[in-house]
Structure 1
Amino acid sequence: MNILLTGATGTLGSRVLYALFEERFNTITTIYLPVRKKTTVHPEKRIQNVLLSEFAPQFIKDNSAAIFNKIIVIDADNFLNPASFLGNTTKIDFFIHAAGFVNLSTLPSAKTEIFKENLQFTKDIFFAFHKHISKFIYISTAFASGNVGGRIENDFSTLKAAEYRNHYEASKHASELFLIKACKEKNLPIQILRPSVLGGNIWEKPTYFISKYMVFYLFAKFFKSAPTDHSVRITTTETTGLNIIPTDYAAQVIAKVISRDIEQLNIVHRKETNMMKGIAQILNTVGFTNFSFTTDEINATTGYKSELEAYYYETIGVHLHPYMTSKPNEWDTELLESILPIPEYTLEEYLAETVAFAVKHNFRNQKW
């Protein structure tokens, strides 16, 4: 079995790499990994850093040499020339496109770059590789549905014009629609997998670890260093929730499902974490208690109560606000749980523990 995985140094991609070897070590012949050179760190060294990380699963640590022998690292500059590393006969059984440009900006000026990095790059990949692969697996996001509210099924292909919260969601959904159409035209199997917001490990050791702190972690980091004598009103609603899924669970689902005949699958928790309860847990964990909730919109026109409140709404609040006021959703997880049952834990306690782990490690991202 030959696999190509993009994004192997990313938050989800690195865990997918681990999970593929944990799940399929004996059947994997080669995993091809396109990797960018990072300053003075060569692509091969970046992958070695992933495999030899202190946070890697024990199976990876125990078998790192044998695993590395099954890996071919491709310089990202040569990635769109598959014949240069595949030759004319090698076939990729599973092409897993897990790389993505996560940018939650709502600024019109950001749209071009976000669509270029997500939609156009996906198109470039497809046209370069479709003759060399047997199945295309695209890692999208559960939020590609936009702010629809209500019950969300696995099929996003028939969604009408969505109320996207940002260009990132729009670009990922556009990529999905392109791939469904293009793969059908080329008679190529397509699989779209959509994790929700990623949280720390729930099974793998160390528990609650994640390689990069984003989304709700940015909220925690912001208030961890905030002056406690400044009050902040946080706009949200009593019904808004955020769907969070442990990264190791999402990765294990991906490793299992790629060989299944499933075209679309949301990798989500069956329940959303209530935004008010979740934020209270985060802020209490980082030691910030001078906050209150409101349903009112807060901006420069309405006025701010403190310098910290102004700074919040002018920085991360701009990107997080659409999620803080989203419509409540109910997620269909019947198919997902037939593949791998969702782990049982208390949502608010899990959120507090993931933030506590991040605080303990100073929100330090892994430099792979």
Structure 2
Amino acid sequence: MNCLLTGSSGIVGSHIMFEWIYKALVEKTVNHLFVVIRNNKKPAKDRLLAILNDSSRPHFLNDFSMADCLSKITVIPSDLSNIKKQTLEKYNFSTVIHCAGSTSLQHTTDSKEKVQHQNFNVTKQLLTELPHNVKRFLYISTAYSFGIQKDKVTDTIANFKVQEFRNPYEKSKYESEKYVSETCAKKNIISQILRPSIICGRLIDAPFFETPKFDVFYAWAIFLNKYARKASSDFRIWIDQKSGLNIVPVDFVAKAVLHAFLQPNIKELNIVNPTQILHKNYVGDVLRYFKINAFNYVSERPENLNNFEQLYYKTIGVVFEKYISVPDLQFQSETILKFINQLNLSTNLGVHENFMKLIDFSVKKEFKSSYA
């Protein structure tokens, strides 16, 4: 049960590594993990040590020495974008968990090129250079690779017509999924497509609220923390009051990925929250937290914008407009709910009752990222 993991210095990848170590040392259901980490200002081995010593490391690893943890991890110091078969053939693994990629939601040309390269081109490079003994390939996509849909989606994306996306990121993930499925079929490799929704900090195992990077929806808090003081008059915020965000804790995502690793019969899995948190139930709390007390919910983009509204709608509002201002993507969650019940977790994964604690934690951490 040896495996190659990409993206181990990222949010999800690092937590997959944490869960792997536990399963290898305690449950003994997995064996050795090979992680691709490129050298930068620090050597790859030092970057791995920084991850394993980071504050977001789960407390359940405190029962083991660093030597214990490292006994189950081997670093492959390489840049994934140009990795070669000759390099990978030196290591004994038959399964790949491909987690590396970009989560940029911007619409800029630079962002479009970035997600196309990091999400599609790198995936293509990795599949091209896989050793012949690889028999299974797990691709970590996004629940939003379905794009914009009116009906509830299932775990099987082929049952839906996918053609309209909120941003280049979603499109790059959808195209990568298709490439993985088609290429693996040609190579006689079992493919598994796993799709986490929006990711927040840890809520299952201590330390709670931790995440190595405050990404995606945290960008809203970053914007307000920086600019809320400029809101001098009523702020009209455009939201769909019947819709919400589908948020899952990063440690839950990692557990679900390892669950799928141990269940090769799972071909596709949407790692989602059975209950989204409605915009009308959190937006006001967040605005008041940042001392914006004069605000109104509106059902369409307002005109005659005041100075703060101009700033909002030209920056962060553009990124989140199609996530909070229009009907949300709905998921049929029967499959993931079975796994939630296996773990004896609350149906909403603790997101609703802890949402403002997640925001407060990110502010107190000053949104600082780890894993340099």
TM-score w.r.t. the length of structure 2 is 0.90
Deviation at 1:62?
3.0
Q: Distance between the aligned counterparts of 1:91 and 1:326, measured in 2?
A: 48
- Partners of 1:349 and 1:197 lie apart in 2 by 17
Give the structure 2 partner of residue 161 of structure 1: 162
Q: Secondary structure at the match of 1:54?
A: coil
Displacement of 1:331 after TM fit? 1.8
Inter-partner Cα distance in structure 2 for 1:34 and 1:324: 36
1:246 CA drift (Å) = 0.8
Could you list the runs of 4 or more consecutive aligned residues of structure 1 that deviate by over 4 angstroms after TM superposition?
none
Question: Is 1:359 equivalent to 2:367 in the alignment?
Answer: no
CA distance in 1, matches of 2:162, 2:56: 41
Deviations 1:10-30 (A, max 9, x none): 111111110112223335443
For residues 284 and 150 of structure 1, the distance between their equivalents in structure 2, rounded to whole angstroms, comes to 34
**Contact 1:5–1:33, Cα closer than 8 Å, also in 2:** yes
Query: Which residue is 2:296 aligned to?
Result: 292
Q: What is residue 171 of structure 1 aligned with on the other side?
A: 172
User: Deviation string for 1:143-190 (max 9, x for gaps)?
Assistant: 111121331100112421332000000000001111111111111100
Q: 1:14-93 maps to which residues of 2 (within 5 A)?
A: 14-25=14-25, 26-38=28-40, 40-63=41-64, 64-77=66-79, 80-87=83-90, 90-93=91-94
Whether the 8 Å CA contact 1:196–1:244 is kept in 2: the answer is yes
Moved more, 188-197 or 154-163: 154-163
Q: Look up the match of 1:272.
A: 276
- Offset at 1:109? 5.8
Matches within 5 A, 1:176-187: 176-187=177-188
* Corresponding letter in the other structure for 1:7: G
SS of equivalent residue, structure 2 residue 281: helix
CA distance in 2, matches of 1:153, 1:45: 41
Do the aligned partners of residues 204 and 274 (structure 1) sit closer, same or farther apart at CA in structure 2, a change above 3 Å counting?
A: same
Cα distance change, pair 206–66 in 1 and its aligned pair in 2 (3 A): same
Preserved CA contact (<8 Å) 1:198 1:247: yes
Give matches, 1:61-140, under 5 Å. Answer: 61-63=62-64, 64-77=66-79, 80-87=83-90, 90-107=91-108, 110-129=111-130, 131-140=132-141
- Residues 289 and 216 of structure 1: is their aligned pair in 2 closer, same or farther, counting only changes over 3 Å? farther
* 1:133 Cα deviation after fit: 1.2
Q: The residue matched to 1:33 in structure 2 has which SS?
A: strand
Coordinate RMSD, CA, aligned:
2.0
Counting only pairs closer than 5 Å after superposition, residues 247-326 of structure 1 correspond to structure 2 as 247-260=250-263, 261-298=265-302, 302-305=303-306, 307-326=307-326
Q: Give structure 1 stretches of 5+ with no counterpart.
A: none
Output the CA distance in 1 between the equivalents of 2:15 and 2:139: 16
Structure 1 length-normalised TM: 0.91
d(CA) in 2 for partners of 1:164, 1:173:
9
- 1:310 CA drift (Å): 1.2
> How far off is 1:328 after superposition?
3.3
SS in 1 for 2:305: coil
CA–CA distance in structure 2, aligned partners of residues 119 and 152 of structure 1: 23
Aligned to 1:191: 192
Contact in 1 for aligned 2:213/2:368 (Cα 8 Å): yes
Amino acid at match of 2:192: Q
Q: Percent identity?
A: 27
Residue segments in structure 2 that go unaligned for 5+ positions in a row? none
Residue in 2 that maps onto 1:147? 148
8 Å CA contact 1:147–1:327 kept in 2: the answer is: no
CA deviation string 1:277-334 (max 9, x = no partner): 2212222333332322112224xxx4312x2211111111111111112323432222
Contact 2:240 2:327 in 1 (8 A): no
Tell me if the contact between 1:2 and 1:94 (Cα under 8 Å) persists in the aligned partners: yes
Distance 1:348 1:229 in 2: 30
